[in-house]
């Protein structure tokens, strides 16, 4: 607590020396940690109130103009305090940041993004606290998923395995499990996740995949640029295990594992593989 008190006092001194006047600040000044949460706030029309983000948040482009305050494990408490936030928002939990908020006498808000219900709950919380366009974005997302569900009616109910990590040549891989937003997205468009019965992100062997026998396999490679080589390698790998080439897909969008403001685009990209 002494360390936190020192940080707060230092921040106050910094604000005084730099000419920052608390009386002239906007009503809401958010420090936000977590790419999904940052995206969701921008999608909800709250981006102008954000004064600091974590080092991993890079969308939309406006985030590039904001101070970075570190990450979940190593947040810069002094920098956060110097931004004079009126509240701190974080994906997940952080005892250190919760303590800092208490020391600064400002609210600390924690959000979850594990499931689609979590995303809707986060939007409801933002709407209840700040209004803006959070409710509108929630409705747009519902309409998007309903529209995709209608498109998918032309296909028989299908099972989909989503591979989030597979080192080329390896006989094991990490997949999206039952309690993830991927499972919820598939369910919302009348499909189902193919995964072991337990664990959010279970490790499974190639033999385990064969036993589950999914109709489609989607491999995620966010951030990779050698798309042609990776796609060919994955198709060859799975064809050797008995899966036809047109049942194996690769997605390379950098946002594909970030359930935030582009969650509707994630659903679109997944459905495009299955139609």
DSSP one-letter string for 115-169: SHHHHHHHHHHHHHHH-TTHHHHHHHHHHHHHHHHHHGGGS---EEEEEEE--TT
Q: What is the pLDDT of residue 190?
A: 93
Query: Is the peptide bond prior to 60 cis by the omega test (within 30 degrees of 0)?
Result: yes
The boundaries of every CATH 3.40.50.1980 domain in the chain are: 2-136, 155-274
- Residue 111 pairs in a beta bridge with 91
- Where does 155-274 sit in CATH, by number? 3.40.50.1980
CA 107 vs. chain centroid, Å, equals: 22
Q: What is the pLDDT of residue 69?
A: 98
DSSP state of 236: H
Closest CA to 192 of 177, 211, 204, 172: 177
Q: What angle do CA 122, 8, 91 make, to 5 degrees?
A: 20
The tokens describing 20, both together, are 């920052």
Closest CA to 77 of 104, 56, 40: 104
Q: What is the pTM of this model?
A: 0.90
- Residue 68 pairs in a beta bridge with 53
Q: What is the pLDDT of residue 13?
A: 47
Cβ distance 247 to 217 under 8 Å?
yes
Q: What is the pLDDT of residue 4?
A: 55
- Where does 2-136 sit in CATH, by number? 3.40.50.1980
Mean pLDDT of each 10-residue bin along the chain, 275 residues long: 53 46 61 98 97 97 96 94 97 96 97 97 97 95 96 89 91 96 97 94 96 97 92 95 96 96 97 95
Q: What is the pLDDT of residue 168?
A: 78
d(CA 84, CA 12): 8
Q: Which residues of 206-229 are buried (b: 16+ CB within 10 A; e: fewer)?
A: bebbeeeebbbbbbbbeeeeeeee
Residue 258 falls in which region: left (phi positive, over 0), alpha (psi -120 to 50) or beta: beta
Q: Which residues of 12-26 are buried (b: 16+ CB within 10 A; e: fewer)?
A: beebeeeeeeeeeee
Q: What is the pLDDT of residue 215?
A: 97
Q: What is the pLDDT of residue 10?
A: 55
Q: What is the pLDDT of residue 18?
A: 44
Cβ distance 87 to 105 under 8 Å?
no
């Amino acid at each position: 607590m002494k360390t936190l008190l020192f940080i707060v006092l230092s921040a106050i001194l910094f604000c005084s020396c730099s000419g920052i006047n608390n009386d002239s600040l906007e009503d809401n000044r958010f420090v936000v940690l977590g790419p999904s949460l940052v995206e969701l706030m921008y999608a909800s029309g709250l981006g102008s109130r954000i004064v600091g983000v974590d080092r991993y948040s890079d969308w939309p482009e406006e985030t590039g103009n904001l101070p970075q305050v570190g990450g979940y494990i190593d947040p810069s408490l002094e920098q956060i305090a110097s931004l004079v936030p009126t509240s701190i928002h974080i994906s997940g939990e952080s005892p250190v940041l919760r303590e800092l908020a208490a020391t600064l006498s400002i609210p600390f808000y924690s959000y979850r993004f594990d499931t689609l219900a979590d995303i809707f709950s986060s939007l409801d919380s933002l709407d209840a606290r700040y209004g803006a366009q959070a409710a509108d974005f929630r409705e747009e997302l519902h309409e998007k998923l309903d529209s995709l569900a209608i498109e998918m009616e032309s296909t028989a109910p299908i099972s989909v395995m989503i591979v989030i990590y597979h080192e080329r040549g390896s006989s094991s891989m990490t997949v999206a499990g039952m309690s993830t937003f991927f499972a919820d997205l598939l369910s919302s468009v009348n499909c189902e996740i193919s995964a072991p019965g337990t664990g959010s992100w279970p490790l499974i062997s190639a033999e385990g995949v064969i036993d589950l026998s999914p109709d489609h396999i989607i491999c995620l490679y966010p951030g990779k640029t050698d798309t042609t080589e990776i796609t060919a390698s994955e198709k060859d790998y799975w064809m050797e295990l008995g899966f036809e080439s047109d049942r194996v897909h690769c997605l390379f969008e950098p946002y594909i594992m970030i359930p935030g403001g582009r969650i509707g685009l994630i659903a679109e990209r997944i459905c495009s593989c299955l139609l």
